[in-house]
Structure 1
Amino acid sequence: MTSPEEQVAIRDAATVVILRDGPGGPETFMLRRNRRTVFGPGAHVFPGGAVDRADAAADMLACCDGLDDAGASAQLGIPAGGAAFWIAAIRECFEEAGVLLATDDQGQPLPPDIDLSAERAALNAGETSLRDICHERGLRLPLDRIVYYNHWITPPGEPRRFSTRFFACPAPAGQAAVHDGQETVAGRWLQAAEALDLHARGELPMMPPTVLQLRFLAEYADVDGVMSVLRGIRDVPAVSPSLERDGDGFRVLLSTGRHD
């Protein structure tokens, strides 16, 4: 008989690791989740969230460059709808961190002094959509600049379960990363080794997938090195952890993975 925990629906989700070079190696922007959230309360995470139906809309796909739905779906190993994961990663990064991974209508980087705070606020309030922002500001979404490299499925036992695709992208110049003050209540750039040290000391709570991404990042001296390796990945297996009782709690066992 299937347990209630196993009956929780698994939602598609996307997470993006935005990177910049720091004096001690690659840095990534991490957000602290609101303690009132159901999933991962108080945890430090990368920007991300569930894939919405609007992310797969045809008029949303028309705003994208560099990768079509067929190519995106092939990378994910699904029949169709793959581009929606890239779009969700871009949208969630803008909503949660205030960083828009986009170009102008000529494919050039956005001006360093661009102010998109009003659009972000309207998007978070449900008063506009990413599609509308792209049309009104003449923006394009360069999907090919965002690299897919990892896949995690939340184990049974959590109140919410996600099939999360991980992406990575260099941070666009000039855009300040700032938490949204709703789902996330703090944000900071951290070198991977620093984040892992804080986690080991109990000062930076994180979920297992986040820890393993940081362990991978800590192996590289700069963002170019990270992105070069990630672009070379061709076959991404799903990591499907399971929970094993450990005293009064549980520990996570990994069945497969790439960066474990």
Structure 2
Amino acid sequence: MSESVVRARDASTVMLVRDGATGIEVFLQRRVSGMAFAAGVTVFPGGGVDAADGVADIAWSGPEPGWWAERFATDEQSAQALVAAAVRETFEECGVLLAGPTADTVVCDSTTYRDARGRLERRELSLAEFLAAEGLVLRADLLRPWSNWITPESEPRRYDTRFFVALLPQGQIADGATSEAANVAWRTPQDALASWRAGEHVLMPPTWSQLDALCGFADTAAVLAAEPAIEPIMPRYSAGTDGTPLSDFPAYDRYFAQLPQQAGFGGR
């Protein structure tokens, strides 16, 4: 790696889904305008991996770190940290807690842990400390590996992001009680994409790509049963002969053909 290229930080993003009246719905957040990264952009809950996410004493249920390491082409410690970050970020950003009092249960009312949620977001508490104090088990089996996107090398802030998918646990409510979201909504992938094409909100290529893929599933059972091949995707900035400022990601030509204001593309 060139000395001028910033090393990509590990990150986890979770596509939280549920079955709605007209098909699959996914939980989306519009980030506040003051964020250092992707300000004002519509995203899924997620964020960077913290050092504390990789501790070994987390109570765990489901596929072991070695299984996740194979799917995400990384080492076991990093894989554990990615899964832990996925659970932590989902709880911090929308109040959905993928954990339970036993290995085969999940909490029904996550608002019970409202104070701990705030402490987690302020980094006053680690996920391992929270789970241990409350006698909870991390439910890795409620997550599915989905994709891996890496920020282009020319960017000053870079992430190596693993995307997960998870079903909204029964009884829990996803909310917008986070300092990072200006507004939140459950939307079908089709509706979210149509709204983007109309210029009503901004989707960066990774989010667009995941929404586009979800359009191909009839219900959440089909999504959770899917086993997508996960290959690292790192878009590349280039003038190119086709006029697209960014390439090397699936269906990039279709993304730019549908982008409402290509001249204002803010990926850089």
TM-score (structure 1 length as normaliser): 0.88
Match of 2:123 in 1: 126
Q: Distance in 1 between matches of 2:110 and 2:10?
A: 34
The alignment's C-alpha RMSD in Å is 2.3
- One-letter identity of the residue aligned with 2:42: H
DSSP 3-state at the match of 1:238: coil
Match of 1:9 in 2: 7
Match of 1:195 in 2: 192
Q: Is the 8 A contact 1:240 1:256 kept in 2?
A: no
Q: Is the 8 A contact 1:32 1:43 kept in 2?
A: yes
DSSP 3-state at the match of 2:203: coil
Q: Is the 8 A contact 2:151 2:159 kept in 1?
A: yes
Match of 2:235 in 1: 241
Q: Is the 8 A contact 1:15 1:165 kept in 2?
A: yes
- One-letter identity of the residue aligned with 1:195: A
Q: Distance in 1 between matches of 2:51 and 2:75?
A: 16
Pairing 1:1-260 to 2, within 5 Å after superposition: 2=2, 4=4, 7-60=5-58, 63-81=59-77, 82-112=79-109, 115-229=112-226, 232-233=227-228, 235-245=229-239, 251-255=245-249
- One-letter identity of the residue aligned with 1:166: F
Compared CA separation, residues 201 and 134, structure 1 to 2 (3 A) = same
Deviations, residues 105-139 of structure 1 (Å, cap 9, x unaligned): 25212124752212211211222221122112221
- Identify, as 1 or 2, the structure richer in strand: 1
Compared CA separation, residues 36 and 246, structure 1 to 2 (3 A) = farther
Q: Equivalent pairs: percent with the same residue?
A: 34
Q: Is the 8 A contact 2:95 2:111 kept in 1?
A: no
DSSP 3-state at the match of 1:58: coil
- One-letter identity of the residue aligned with 1:202: G
Q: Distance in 1 between matches of 2:162 and 2:232?
A: 9
DSSP 3-state at the match of 2:185: strand
Compared CA separation, residues 66 and 2, structure 1 to 2 (3 A) = closer
Q: Is the 8 A contact 2:108 2:169 kept in 1?
A: no
- One-letter identity of the residue aligned with 1:34: V
Deviations, residues 24-79 of structure 1 (Å, cap 9, x unaligned): 1111111111111121110010011111111111123xx11112222221222223
DSSP 3-state at the match of 1:135: helix
Report the number of matched residues. Answer: 250
TM-score (structure 2 length as normaliser): 0.86
Compared CA separation, residues 113 and 101, structure 1 to 2 (3 A) = closer
Q: Distance in 2 between matches of 1:180 and 1:159?
A: 29
DSSP 3-state at the match of 1:215: helix
- Unaligned runs of 5+ residues in structure 2 are 256-268
- Unaligned runs of 5+ residues in structure 1 are none
